[in-house]
Chains A and B, each alone.
Chain A
Amino acid sequence: MRRSRLIVQFLVVSSIAAAVVLLMGYVLHRQLMEDMPDLAQIRLITWIFAGLAVSLIIGAAMIHVRLVSRRIERLLDGMEGIRKGQYPRLVVDGADEVSELMRGFNQTVEELRGRDEKLLSWTSKRETEMVKLSRTLEEEKEKLETVLDSIGDGVIVLDSENKVLMANRRVSEVFGVPLEALTRADLGRLVEQVRHRLVHPDEVEQKLHELERNPGVVDEITLELDEPGGQAIRLYCAPVRGADGKVLGRIATSLDLGRERELDRLKTEFLSTISHELRTPLTSVKGALGLIRGGAVGAISSDMRELLDIALTNTDRLIRVISDILDIFQLERGQGRMRMVSLSLLQGVLRAERVVETQAELRKVTLDIQLPEDLPAVKGDPKRVEQVLVNLLTNAIKFSPPKSRILIRGRQDGTMVEVTVQDFGRGMSPEFRDRLFQKFEHAQGALMRESQGAGLGLAICRHIVDAHGGRIWASSELGQGSTFCFTLPAEDRPGATLLLPGGRRERRPEAPRLILVIDDDEDVARVISYAFESQGHRVIAAHNGRDAIDLAKKHRPDMLTLDLAMPEVDGYTVLRALRSNEETKKIPIICISMETEPGLAISNGADYFLEKPLDIEKLRQVADRALAEMG
């Protein structure tokens, strides 16, 4: 254990003092041991020794204190120097504790100086870096602002409380607020600034509230301004999320719809013009060919007829392509408004069947309709639903091998009705199946010539079904045929009214009947057929007496209409033939003739007689009566 030097010094001084006291004691003892001690001398000695001892002790103490205190003062001065930011060095003399303390002080000061120098150097380095960083940040900010300002559309960065953190010049122009005033402004307040110019202020307000309530959603707000020039701005708001997925704020881009609308207008104008310019010459071509084919300029040979048919078919094909292009354009822009009514799918399928009938006959393909009796009505646009069915059936016929069948089925699936068109043709590859409902997609290259279209049919179908809230899809494998399915919203009740193209509503018949229309004038036959088809009946037509008798025997229709004036086998002959045959003798027959006297027809077996020109409404009334009587 280390002994304190100060204590040693103290012990030395104490020992000297003690020695002086002892010496005094000894001298006194000697004086007292004498026979006649001199008391005065003793007193003097005592005073001398006592004074000496005290002087020694005081002198030693004073010297000691002086030595220690001077060094402590130096220490205190040193500490004061440190406080002032100096690094004082103390002169150390001696080897006692105070000297050691001073040495320690000097060492600490040296360490402090070293650390301070290091810190200063680090700080200065960091300061340089900070200045550099700050300059870079400033440059980046300027760049960002330049970029933002050069964007034609407005950009607003919002915090989680919808307050503006950053915005560009366009936003300032749109809202009529100085750029500086935009910072920390509330989005709601900004919209409020233009409220008087908004066409639908309440809708905008509601949308803003929705955004505030659901900060995580991506949404759009369209600000339709009534002036100047009916400007419209679409604010596209998307959440900005942190690494933890938490919504930090929003970024809103404002798009001036004026330019978009102008482009749209130009597109519409272009399509309208191009469609008009294509249709006009086609009208002349189709018209001229149709008139020649129809015999307007005299009889034509079978070769001429064949060639005219080719020309007409291809004219129609071209017209279809133009219509499809126009159609897809309108549907894509949401302009193909659906006129939703309650409609029977059976009616739609039957009408579509009628459209593709000739095509199916040419390819010797049978359409097998298997729709259940209790299939509910669907909510849809009759023309558009028919368009989907015709498209699917046309495709199925195109890709079906001869003498095969196409199966049309329907079933209820929850709140939807699912319609399936299945063919047993060559099918398609999975790659093609995935692109099937895209625009301008054809079956594989090798089939392109056969597919004969712009590749828009299925894309149109998808748009139509989507607009009905349904879904369309296909399943197929090469060599295994294809199945196309689509769904439409089911109506609550099974019975349905049918909206005719002309807008009249008609009661759906309890069950569709098969009607044979016999007329050598194909146009008249078409008009009569349409009158019955639009009521939901199925119609087959014959254009001469012989075919009429054959078809009546083969199909045994529920009713037939018969033109009396036909070349070769006339209507009277047909009447007699049908009435004399067991299978056909009970079929109700409505005779239609230019003659005004029904007697001969009735006597030959006709049930009803109607004069030409035909009154369609009267024909329907008579037909309803005939079918009702038949039961």
Chain B
Amino acid sequence: MPLTRVLVAEDDPDIQTVIRMSLKLKGVKEITITENGEDCLAQVKTARPDVILLDVMMPRLDGYQTCERLKANPETQSIPVIFLTAKAQQFEIKKGMATGALGYLIKPFDPMTLHDQIVALLDQKGTA
């Protein structure tokens, strides 16, 4: 199943652009960009994404907390969450995965394979 709707929580405008262009290039139709965890939680119901891409270091509400809240809410807990972050230390990855995320992608990423990596993660977990 191809990706149709992706919700992104990323505070860096340059990276927002790269993610948007990278996914658009691979045929993702709806890409919703939010700038922090709170906005992401606010928009998740209207965006109805196939997957949520979460940065960790964000103002107001960080990625870990955002994922925890998404997973604690029965309405959003089934949406796959993938971290897309520069936090690359093992304990950070562990912490991220402990929040109930599906996967953990480390920045910098290859914009030409980002879509495939997301799909591969979804495939692997049988969610796509």
Residues of A whose CB lies within 8 Å of any CB of B are 268, 271-272, 275-288, 290-291, 293-294, 296, 315, 319, 323, 326, 330, 335-337, 502, 504, 522-523, 526-527, 613, 616-617
The reply to whether B110 and A286 form a contact with Cβ atoms under 8 Å apart is yes
What residues on A are CB-neighbors of B106 within 8 Å?
279
Q: Please name all residues of chain B whose beta carbon is closer than 8 Å to the beta carbon of A335 when the two chains form the complex.
A: 89-91
Check if A279 sits within 8 Å of B90, measured CB to CB: no
- Docked-complex contact A523 and B116, CB < 8 angstroms: yes
Does residue B88 face the partner (Cβ distance < 8 Å to A)? yes
Which residues B10-67 have CB closer than 8 A to chain A? 12, 14-15, 17-19, 21-22, 25, 57
When the two chains form their complex, are residues B108 and A296 in contact, meaning their CB atoms are under 8 A apart?
Answer: no
Secondary structure call for the A interface: helix
Interface residue range, chain B: 20 to 34
When A272-B92, A291-B25, A502-B124 are in contact, do A319 and B108 touch as well, CB less than 8 Å?
yes
Check B86 for interface membership: any CB of A closer than 8 A.
Answer: yes
- Docked complex Cα distance between A326 and B89 (Å): 7
A336, B90: Cβ atoms closer than 8 Å: yes
Measured between beta carbons, the chain A residues less than 8 angstroms from B120 are: 502, 527, 616
- Number of A-B pairs, beta carbon distance below 8 Å: 105
Q: Which 3 A-B residue pairings sit nearest by Cβ, starting from the closest?
A: A287-B18, A279-B86, A284-B14
**Contact status A279-B107, CB under 8 Å:** yes
| Minimum C-beta distance from B58 to chain A (A) | 12
Q: Is A287 touching B90 in the complex (CB atoms < 8 A)?
A: no
For the A-B complex with A279-B106, A284-B14, A527-B113 known, give 11 more contacts whose Cβ atoms are closer than 8 Å. Answer: A268-B91, A280-B12, A283-B107, A287-B17, A287-B111, A288-B14, A290-B22, A291-B25, A326-B89, A330-B90, A616-B120
Instruction: Check B69 for interface membership: any CB of A closer than 8 A.
Output: no
Interface membership of B2, Cβ < 8 A: yes
In the complex, what residue of chain B is closest to A504 when comparing beta carbons?
Answer: B124
B88: chain A residues within 8 A (beta carbon): 275, 279, 323, 326
A selection of 5 A-B contacts at a CB cut-off of 8 Å is A279-B106, A279-B107, A287-B108, A526-B113, A617-B123
Interface hub of B2, B19, B57, B112 (most chain A Cβ within 10 A) = B112
The complex places the Cα of A271 from the Cα of B14 at a distance, in Å, of 23
Partner of A280, one of B15, B89, B90, B111: B15
B2 touches A286 (CB 8 A): no
**In the complex the two chains form, what is the Cα distance from A323 to B108 in whole Å?**
11
Interface contact B108-A283, CB-CB below 8 Å: yes
A291 touches B108 (CB 8 A): no
User: What chain B residues lie within 8 Å of A294 (beta carbons)?
Assistant: 25, 111-112
Residues of chain B lying within 8 A (CB to CB) of residue A282: 107-108
Alpha-carbon distance A293/B110, docked complex (angstroms): 11
Chain B residue, CB-CB nearest to A500: B124
Residues of B within 8 A of A330 (CB): 89-90
Q: State in angstroms the CA–CA spacing of A522 and B120 once bound together.
A: 16
